[in-house]
Structure formats: C-alpha cells, structure tokens
Structure 1
Amino acid sequence: MPRRSLFALSLLTVGLLAAPPASAEDASTAEQTIDVMNALFGKHPGVRANHAKGTVVEGSFTPSPEAASLSKASLFKGPAVPVTARFSNATGVPAIPDGSPDANPHGLAVRFKLPDGDMDVVVNALKFFPVATGEEFRDLLTAVSKSGPDAGKPTPLETFVASHPAAGKAGGTAKTPTSLARQTFNGINAFVLVDAAGKRRPFRWRFVPVDGEELMPPDEAAKQSPTFLMDEIRTRIGKAPAAYRVEAQLAEAGDPTDDATKPWPEDRKSVVLGTLTLTKPVADSLEAEKTLLFMPNALVDGVEVSDDPLIDARVQAYAISFGRRSQ
C-alpha cells in the first residue's frame, strides 16, 4: 500500500502533544506511541498531536423509542439532552488542508451531557482499524517513521503490512466528504448495551447523515480551500441544523468484539438509537477545545466497554496526551 494513504489511516486513535520523550526502558506503550507521533508530525505546543485540526459545535441528542428497550442508560430514557461535539482531521499537523488524503479519516467526538454524568463517544470515517492492539498501533507508527525514501527494501512499513493485512486496507475505507454533515462516522470498537433486565448486546456505533453520505473524488478535494470542510460545517449549522441517525450495529453470535480490524457483516441488524442534531458553532472553537478531553470509557450505566483491548489503549494515550498538551 502507498506510504501516503497508510500514513493517513494509521493516525486515528490519540490526540497527542509534544513533550520530551520518555526513556525506552521506562516508557509505556501509550507514551511510546505519543513519542512516535511527535516525531512524525513535529511538536505543536497547545494542540493535539493527532487530529490536531478541528472545530467545536453544539447541539442535542433525541433518543428513539426503540433505544430504551436495548439499554437502561439515561441517554435513552427522556427528552433531548445537550451535546458538545468536535469534528477533526487526521494527523498532528494543525494546518493540514481539509481535502488532503492525509486528513482522512475525519473524526467526530461527542459529549452527551446527562444528569448522571457526561458520556463520550468517539467515532471516525474508517470502517475498520488497521491494527487490533495498542502495541500494534505503536509498531505501525514506528514502521511508518522508519520507511522514508532512503529506507531499504522491503521497508519496515512493507514488512509490517505483509504481516498485518488490515493495515494495508483500512485507509481505503475513508474518503473526503463534500461536507462533514455528509460523512458517515463509524465506531471501530465494540461496546455493550445493557437493558433493565440485565441482557447484554454487543454493538458498534454508527452516525449516519440524515441527508445521506456524499463523497468527493481526490482530485476534486485537492482543489478546495485548505479549510473548506471546517468552514462549511460552521456556516451550514449557523443557518440550519445538521443531523445524524445514531445507530447501533448489533453483533450476532460469533462476531468478534475484541478485534477492531474485523468489521461485522453489513447485514447485521442496525437499530436507530436516536438523532444527533448540531445547531450551533462554538464562537471560540480554539479556546473551547483546549479543555475538551473525550474518553471512550466515559460511559453511564447501561452502556459498557467490551473486551476490545484498543479501548483501554486509547484511554491511556488520551490521558497522557491531555496532560502533555495542558502543560
């Protein structure tokens, strides 16, 4: 797979900032991942080292009648709840053009503000992830960093892809949209819905634009303004709401819940949990996002993490990231 597209796909999970690298002996996997990202993208104080470029908006979530039958979570019980959301581009380059292939996959992080605590959901445009564990993600980034134009053949990246088939395919599942309001965002990790009787249903999130997905050919995307997606979504919702159907793709027996490289079949049942409606761009987005930390395990009773090891890997990296970029 071309280095350029894999470079883009491999930079999804953590929003990280520059800091002095830990010693190899003492660094955790999450710290090592952050250090490699800093080497790949440079150090940009005050911003995330991945998904660095973004914009913050506000709106609400209205649950569907069906949602309460699947989960006892407060999110699905009552009237609409307020949300804060952040759209983003991949990579740790704050000024990356929105239409660049390296800006894929675009991301969406949502905070639901509930009476019993905030709940976060972090999704992106990939249909599956290139690797299954935090250690493999670190190793993928390391392989990218060692596979420059002067690297011998086979390059470390080519060797890695040869032994990790999903790493060569995942990036091709994310394309540049005509608008962030016309992009489908997927949950690569499995979570679990728990109903009032204690029944557990593994699922993956899916945010489907009500107006339909609309993607742009790469040559057309390259002609756009460097900020066309971020500008357009703010202008759009300043005039009229942008809405997404929030769906749960339900697993069936035998579907893996511990491997983000393996998408479930498209014929798996999807239940509409509600509608996310974005209505207002935050006036000072750059200031607002400084304090925002979206955590995949920030859940409420009725929604639980699965056995997917990437969830904990993301949580650890996010925590380190936030500490570094807040210094």
Structure 2
Amino acid sequence: MKHPRPAAIAAVVAAPAALAVAFAWAGGWIGPKRLGGGAIADALEYNGGSHPGYRRAHAKGLCFTGVFEANGAGASLSRAAVFEAGSYPVFGRFSTAGGDPFATDGRNVFHAMALQITSPEGEIWRLAMDHTPIFPVATPQAFVELQRASRPDPATGKPDPAVMKDYLSRHPETKAYQDYIAAAPLPDSFANGTYYSINAFRFIDSAGEARAVRWSFEPETPLTVLDKQRLKEVPTDHLFDDMRERLTHGPVRWRMKIVVAAPGDPKSDATIAWPSDRRTVETGVLRIDRAGPEEAGLCRDVTFDPTILPAGIGLSDDPLLPARSAAYSSSFRRRAVETPGPSAVGKSLGAH
C-alpha cells in the first residue's frame, strides 16, 4: 500500500486555497482583464439555441468509468503522482460537438473525451480533449466571434454566407481548421479515435525543471471511418450505442503519449500542431470498462475544467485555458438552477 508523501499531503492541504485563486483568476476577478465565462456561454447559447438543463457545449454525452494504468515512464517528465507505476481510478465522458443534446451523430464534427484521474492522495487531474489535434481559434475573443458568425439560419441550417465569409477573411486559422476537418478521416466510433490535449501545458519534474508538453490518447482499436458522403444515413445515437455494444465484449483501451515541445514550438496557440518528430513518451494505458447514461453516471455534475491539475502539472500561457475554465464554470452555474435534462441517449442505453 502506498503512503502519502509529505509533498502530496501539503498539496492536499493547500488545494482549497489554490482552487480559490484559480477560480478567481479564471473568472477575471484578479489578474489582467479577460473575456468572462458568461460572455462565452452566451455566445454558445446564441449559436446552439437554448437547452435548459444541459451543458452549453458538448451537450450530448455519455459517462464512463475505468482505470489509468501508469507504466512509470511519465515520472521522468512530471512529479504528478499518477505517473508513478500503478493503477488509478478514472471516470469521464464521451461527447460530440455542439450545444444541441439531441443532435444526430451523422455530423462531420469533432468527438471529445473528458477524464478525471485521481491519485491515492486524492489529487485530481481533469483532462478535456478532442479528436482533432488543432482548435479552430487561438483566442477567447475569436471563439465568441466564431459562435456568432456560424449561427445556423433556421431556414437553411447553415450560417449566413456573407457573415461567415467576413469572419473567415479575418481568421485564416479557422479556415485552416475547416479544411483540415473536411479532409481528415472521421472515426466511426468513440473507441477508435485519437484524443488530443490541443492546448499546451507545463510538466514539472522532481528536480523542478519545467517542460512544455501536449498529449494524446491513441486507441488500440483499429481506425475505421464514417463515409462522409452518407452521414445523413447514420443513426441518431450511433456513436453512443456503438460504445455500449463494444463494452459488452470487454474493455476499450488507449495509450497515453506525452509530446515534449522543442524550442520555438508555439505554446500559446492551439491552432498550430507541433511537428511529428518531437520527443514522445508513452506513459500508460487508459482502460474503459463501463459506460452509461449521465443520470446514472459520475460525470453529469462535473465540469471537466482542464485547469484543475495535480502538483507537477501547470498551465501554459495559452489564453484559451482560463477562458475554458470560466466558460465551464458559467455553464455549470446555469445548469445548477435548471431542471437537469434527461440524457439524450439514456433511453437507448438503459442503465448499463
């Protein structure tokens, strides 16, 4: 049995104060003036419509539980306890992009995986990842602009072409993302997608040395893809039903790989991928054992805020990180005073 280390005990004692400072910083109450989480949540509602009781983004989701089996290699990069060789409990959520909890799965949008990994000392690490290695915008302001410019016209289901053209003329990074997702293979399952941190973070080792990193979870399940010419034929809950069916036959696994930045790699721009030849360290295996609707899962009332980090992992200067934290907090506060909506996929999934 592992005994808590002095550093871990100190980290747990200090956690409430650290979280209070983090939330104040994320909310813009201290530090430089930033776009507030309420403004971001408003933009998401403007784009996706009003769906009380649901998340303002990634509204359609599925809870899961499992373990992270660390191989010990990550301890050379970070002193975070979850990189020491061992098994650590995990719960999380699969979701699809957008604010409509009843949207069809036959859309060419990113799939997402969110996790919470807990150390024996009780330290929490929350990760929120997409199956694309880049993000469409680099700043919170651009994100809000994009939500407003891409709002679907109820008559056509598509954004106003003139408004979108004007936005893209000022944001070539979003056009690059659109070109990428149009050409990239679209996984036909949550189980066979690779999930990326997108944002950069800082890993601090036992000697105090910090390194900029990103990470990915690469599936052991071979990739098969959806035919984009036939997306309208995809059943509404295809991705969610598929995951339930797969898990009746056994666990699904991903290998966690940490990518270490080289000098000159962008640390604060999530629209730019790092070159593929960067140093990569495989740190363990994520194993998912069970999945079920949010009403019966651990994930429903959790914000997968990527700024909630254990000792040994820190934030980069990416401006999207505090904005994500603030937006998740605002969305949670709104949901907290609304009647929780039934899982969009609960009826088909049952209580597996």
TM-score range, shorter chain: 0.7 to 0.9
Q: Identify unmatched segments of 5+ residues in structure 1.
A: 1-26
> Which residue, 105, 113, 124 being the options, matches 1:98?
105
Displacement of 1:140 in angstroms is 1.4
The 1:218–1:154 alpha-carbon spacing in structure 2 relative to 1, beyond 3 Å, is closer
Distance in 2, matches of 1:269 and 1:149, equals: 49
Matches within 5 A, 1:147-186: 155-171=162-178, 172-173=180-181, 175-186=185-196
- Do structure 1's residue 249 and structure 2's residue 259 form an aligned pair? yes
Question: Which residue number in structure 1 is paired with residue 325 of structure 2?
Answer: 315
Q: Secondary structure at the match of 2:150?
A: helix
Q: More displaced, 219-228 or 120-129?
A: 219-228
AA at the equivalent of 2:213: F
Distance in 2, matches of 1:126 and 1:152, equals: 22
Distance in 1, matches of 2:319 and 2:289, equals: 35
For the Cα contact (< 8 Å) 1:30–1:134, is it kept in 2?
Answer: no
Q: Secondary structure at the match of 1:169?
A: helix
AA at the equivalent of 1:108: M
Question: Which residue number in structure 2 is paired with residue 108 of structure 1?
Answer: 113
Question: Which residue number in structure 2 is paired with residue 12 of structure 1?
Answer: none
Distance in 1, matches of 2:163 and 2:130, equals: 26
Q: Identify unmatched segments of 5+ residues in structure 2.
A: 1-33, 338-352
Question: Which residue number in structure 2 is paired with residue 42 of structure 1?
Answer: 49
Displacement of 1:29 in angstroms is 3.8
Distance in 2, matches of 1:169 and 1:37, equals: 22
Distance in 2, matches of 1:236 and 1:71, equals: 33
- Give the alignment's Cα RMSD to 1 decimal: 2.3
Q: Secondary structure at the match of 1:119?
A: strand
Distance in 1, matches of 2:163 and 2:209, equals: 45
Q: Secondary structure at the match of 2:324?
A: helix
Question: Which residue number in structure 2 is paired with residue 188 of structure 1?
Answer: 198
Q: What is the percent sequence identity of the aligned residues?
A: 32
For the Cα contact (< 8 Å) 2:38–2:330, is it kept in 1?
Answer: yes
Question: Which residue number in structure 1 is paired with residue 278 of structure 2?
Answer: 268
Q: Secondary structure at the match of 2:311?
A: coil
AA at the equivalent of 1:122: A
Deviations 1:284-327 (CA, angstroms, capped at 9, x unpaired): 42353431211101110111111111000100100001000111
Tell me how many residue pairs correspond in the alignment.
Answer: 298
Distance in 1, matches of 2:267 and 2:201, equals: 8
> Which residue, 19, 28, 31 being the options, matches 2:38?
31
For the Cα contact (< 8 Å) 2:220–2:253, is it kept in 1?
Answer: yes
Deviations 1:159-193 (CA, angstroms, capped at 9, x unpaired): 12112111012143365312111011111100011
For the Cα contact (< 8 Å) 2:63–2:300, is it kept in 1?
Answer: no
> Which residue, 136, 143, 151 being the options, matches 2:142?
136
For the Cα contact (< 8 Å) 1:146–1:157, is it kept in 2?
Answer: no
For the Cα contact (< 8 Å) 1:47–1:290, is it kept in 2?
Answer: no
Q: More displaced, 161-170 or 189-198?
A: 161-170
For the Cα contact (< 8 Å) 1:185–1:208, is it kept in 2?
Answer: yes
- Do structure 1's residue 285 and structure 2's residue 294 form an aligned pair? yes
> Which residue, 214, 222, 240 being the options, matches 2:232?
222
Q: More displaced, 147-156 or 78-87?
A: 147-156
AA at the equivalent of 2:118: K
The 1:269–1:148 alpha-carbon spacing in structure 2 relative to 1, beyond 3 Å, is farther
For the Cα contact (< 8 Å) 1:130–1:170, is it kept in 2?
Answer: yes
Question: Which residue number in structure 2 is paired with residue 127 of structure 1?
Answer: 133
For the Cα contact (< 8 Å) 2:36–2:326, is it kept in 1?
Answer: no
Matches within 5 A, 1:82-97: 82-97=89-104
Q: Secondary structure at the match of 2:233?
A: coil
Question: Which residue number in structure 2 is paired with residue 60 of structure 1?
Answer: 67
For the Cα contact (< 8 Å) 2:187–2:193, is it kept in 1?
Answer: yes
Distance in 1, matches of 2:137 and 2:144, equals: 10
Distance in 1, matches of 2:76 and 2:50, equals: 47
The 1:320–1:61 alpha-carbon spacing in structure 2 relative to 1, beyond 3 Å, is same
- Do structure 1's residue 117 and structure 2's residue 117 form an aligned pair? no
Distance in 1, matches of 2:155 and 2:66, equals: 45
